[in-house]
Amino acid sequence: MTASAARIRRITRALAGWYPGEVEPTDELHRSLAFLGSELRADTLVRAGYVAAAPVALLTLCALVVLLPAFPVVASVTAAAGVGLGATHVVHRLPVAAATLRRTRALGDAPGIVARAALSLRLEATPERAAAFAARTGTGPLARSLTAHTERTRSGPSAGLDAFASEWRSWFPALERSIALLAAAVEAPADERDRALDRALETVLDGARTEMVEFAGEARGPASGIYAFGVLLPLALVGVLPAARAGGVTIPTSVFVVLYDLLLPIGLVGAGAWLLLRRPIAIAPPRVTTAHPDVPSGSPHGVPAGVIGIGLGFGGGSLVASWAAPVAAVGVGVGATLVVHYRPMAAVRRDVTEVEAGLADATAVIGRRVGSGEAVETAIESAAAATTGRTSDLFDAAAGVQRRLQVGVHRAFLGEYGALRDLPSRRARATASLLAVAAEEGRPAGATLVRLADHLTELRRVEDEARRELAAITGTLGHTAALFGPLVGGATVAMATQMTRSGATAQGATMQGASVAGSSAAVGGAGAPGAATLPPATLGAAVGVYVLALAVILTALATGLDRGLDRSLVGYRVGLALVSATVTYLVAFLGASMLF
């Protein structure tokens, strides 16, 4: 358990101790905590959620009174009570949401589980061996679930496959149908078994494809709503402020700041979370942590870059406007910190992508050579010569380990000095495990390896199709966060600022004329309360904060829809979006100010 997890557990139990009553947690909360492997009890979490409402509401009320003294007292109390109740709901629902997101990531491995089980059955029609192989060569919740079911029903006829399929039926029905076809293939005649196994894999692939297509169709409406009501409409209303002033409509500064920098971001987070939780399957990227040798360890190495970014942002923002300096310092500083911190992890992930791109070709080469009577050990060298790039380097490294250490295929890839020891690729590791099995089977495994190559190609095709289905949504959100939103925001703020200054100049001329003429009535009319408007500095800073919030929220949402909420991937993309949004916002403001 990590230190942060232990701290959260202690705080939760401490809060729960203050609630004296009995509670009845839902079955969904019980299941979610069990799936997450949490040591917290469901009733403890429910009690903590009820108690958390009071301090959160009190802190919110104090913040509103101190930061927004002009805000009405009744409105402040109502808002604080609402935030407190919202905190209770968040505490109660957060484990359910976390379990849903993890389950979504896990289901992305379903085609791989079925493919590995089918390939094992091609070598030997034994369900026990196929289930154990598919579980052993996988990682994540899906592989752990299959391992648990296999161990509990080791002597059963289906080796836990039926129980495994039943557990995941409600979340991915195609997996159960595919597992049933695998079981049927075991009983099929030898000349029909390959066709039945192919059909099992096609079923789970078609299910994944269908789920993603349906989700893409359902997500277009909500995503368009987020874009319209969370980006376009709020930014367009900024340009209406001078017209509202001219019409005598007063817009208090506190209301504007709370709306743009608090309520709208909270609404976007809620809408984005709602959309993410409805994603059926996520093709998760490889998980890269600080334990990887190519990732610097020790103190956060992004901090120096962040300090430099703060200095550059503050200096550059000061050249644009006084209010722009703190906005630019935060945007560039935080963005640079995230980019530099997560950049090594992004490089490792790109390395994995390059290796997996040629994995099917290398496996096909090995399969054909093994089928013609060549040993897997020597066929690996042929695969290195027949491929290019990082895939060729991988197989060449494995062949070198075999020669130097005189080890088998398994240790050449997965051993202490194996070629895959530092490559966090589930697909490459599963392929290496099957190559090790094929080395034991000999020539009969050649056709199986060729089928594996076909399966890898099909899996990659399904992943590409899934991303293409969501590309229009994720592309719009990502570009809006990093470019279009800040561009519109900067231009709109510049226009509103120039209109405000023009109105102030006209008002000053009117007052001067009235003074010369001695008309006190004219002066009173020009200074009507309805003429109050937001100062340009407040307007620019408030919209700037909102633009930065858009960069974070929309980028995280787009990344989550595309690849799942992987921390390193989200952090890297959010960092790039923050730097881009900050620069675009200030450049758009400066350019538009010169035009208006």
- pLDDT tens-digit readout, 158-200: 667 888 888 888 888 998 899 988 888 888 887 788 888 889 8
pLDDT at 65 exceeding the cut of 80 = yes
CB contact set of 396 (below 8 Å; sequence gap of 6+): 381, 384
pLDDT at 522 exceeding the cut of 80 = no
**Residue with the larger pLDDT of the pair 160 and 32:** 32
Q: Concatenated DSSP letters for 381-430? A: HHHHHH--HHHHHHHHHHHHHHHHH---HHHHHHSTT-TTTT---HHHHH
Among 168, 277, 179, 163, which residue's Cα sits nearest to residue 219? 277
Phi, psi of 391 (to 5 degrees): -65, -45
pLDDT of residue 523: 34
CB contact set of 26 (below 8 Å; sequence gap of 6+): 42
> At 100, is the secondary structure helix, strand, or coil?
helix
pLDDT of residue 519: 37
CB contact set of 37 (below 8 Å; sequence gap of 6+): none
Give 515's pLDDT tier (boundaries 50, 70, 90): very low
**Residue with the larger pLDDT of the pair 24 and 191:** 24
Burial group, residue 9, by CB count within 10 angstroms (0-12, 13-18, 19+): middle
Which structure tokens are listed for 326?
Answer: 């703190």
Choose the weakest-confidence range: 150-154, 461-465, 485-489, 511-515.
511-515
Q: Give pTM, 2 decimals.
A: 0.86
pLDDT at 3 exceeding the cut of 70 = no
* Whether the Cβ atoms of residue 363 and residue 458 lie closer than 8 Å to each other: no
Q: Rounded to an integer, what distance in angstroms lies between the CA atom of residue 63 and that of residue 71?
A: 11
pLDDT of residue 583: 95
pLDDT of residue 247: 62
Which structure tokens are listed for 553?
Answer: 């929220």
Instruction: Find which of 32-41, 395-404, 459-468, 497-506 is predicted with most confidence, using mean pLDDT.
Output: 395-404
Element spanning 595, H or E? helix 567-595
pLDDT of residue 531: 37
Which structure tokens are listed for 464?
Answer: 């590409």
pLDDT of residue 533: 57
Give 565's pLDDT tier (boundaries 50, 70, 90): confident
- The rounded percent of the chain whose pLDDT value lies above 90 is 26
Average pLDDT, the chain: 84
pLDDT of residue 245: 63
Among 408, 426, 113, 427, which residue's Cα sits nearest to residue 418? 408
> At 565, is the secondary structure helix, strand, or coil?
coil
Q: First vs last Cα of the chain: how many Å apart?
A: 58
Burial group, residue 418, by CB count within 10 angstroms (0-12, 13-18, 19+): buried
Residue type, 445: A
360-378 tens-digit pLDDT: 899 999 989 988 888 888 8
